[in-house]
Amino acid sequence: MNEYNVLQDIVIIKELLGFTKEGLANALEISRITLNNWMTGKNNISEQNMSASYSFAFKSGIRLSKIKEQLYKEDASEKSHILLFHGAKSKLEGELSINKSRKNNDFGQGFYCGESLEQSAMFVSTFPESSLYMLDFDKKGLKERRFGVNRDWMLTIAYFRNRLGEFRILRLLKV
């Protein structure tokens, strides 16, 4: 899994707003040397400066998550892949594994993913140690079941939560 690349985001902010390095440094209220040290990898950006940079971008009308999501999706579709996003309340350690997940999700053991980075972020945005993950799947051989928020969706959730007793959801869904 790739870490979120703050320096890449700062370059995007700089380019979208048409700033020079000096102009961006002034806008972020830091020295040009500090900005240059971040961009060359001499110094790491502090959490406070990272937060200030993202706040500045947001106040300037730049929705980095939307921009990056679109770029990633375009790249994936060129390779016949699909991107799914997962929001976690904390950082996931090690390789992703179905065996490390909760057993009592709506569809049994696993973790939720969606096609929207924004939606995944929304679910975990209030947790101080939250993380977002992007999963890249090759579409070849991938089986999927898509639902809208409709009767089939509600019945499937009720079934997996053991709320339907002996009723057979599979017959209803014609699976």
pLDDT digits (tens, 9 = 90+) for 8-67: 899 999 999 999 999 999 999 999 999 998 888 888 888 888 888 999 999 999 988 888
Residue 56's contacts (CB-CB under 8 Å, 6 or more residues apart) are: 13, 27, 28
Average pLDDT over residues 92-111: 72
DSSP state of 101: S
> pLDDT of 118-148, one tens digit each?
888 888 888 888 888 888 888 887 777 777 7
At residue 165, the pLDDT reads: 65
- Angstrom distances, CA of residue 71 to CA of 7, 32, 64, 66, 68: 16, 29, 11, 9, 5
**Domain range annotation of the chain:** 6-62, 65-138, 145-175
At residue 168, the pLDDT reads: 58
Residue 12 · residue 62 · CB < 8 Å:
yes
At residue 173, the pLDDT reads: 56
- Structurally, at CATH architecture level, domain 6-62 sits in Orthogonal Bundle (1.10)
Band of the pLDDT at 3, cuts 50, 70, 90? very low
At residue 30, the pLDDT reads: 92
Average pLDDT over residues 95-120: 75
Residue 130 · residue 89 · CB < 8 Å:
yes
At residue 16, the pLDDT reads: 93
CB burial of 64-76 (b: ≥16 within 10 Å; e: otherwise) equals bbeebbeebbeeb
At residue 108, the pLDDT reads: 66
Q: What angle do CA 77, 80, 82 make, to 5 degrees?
A: 65
Evaluate if pTM is beyond 0.75: no
Element (H, E) at 53: helix 47-59
Residue 90 · residue 129 · CB < 8 Å:
yes
At residue 19, the pLDDT reads: 95
At residue 27, the pLDDT reads: 93
φ, ψ of residue 42 to 5 degrees: the values are -65, -40
In whole angstroms, what is the distance from residue 119 CA to residue 86 CA? 9
Check whether 79 has a pLDDT greater than 90. Answer: no
Check whether 69 has a pLDDT greater than 80. Answer: yes
Between residues 28 and 152, the one the model is more confident about: 28
Other CB atoms within 10 A of residue 106 CB: 12
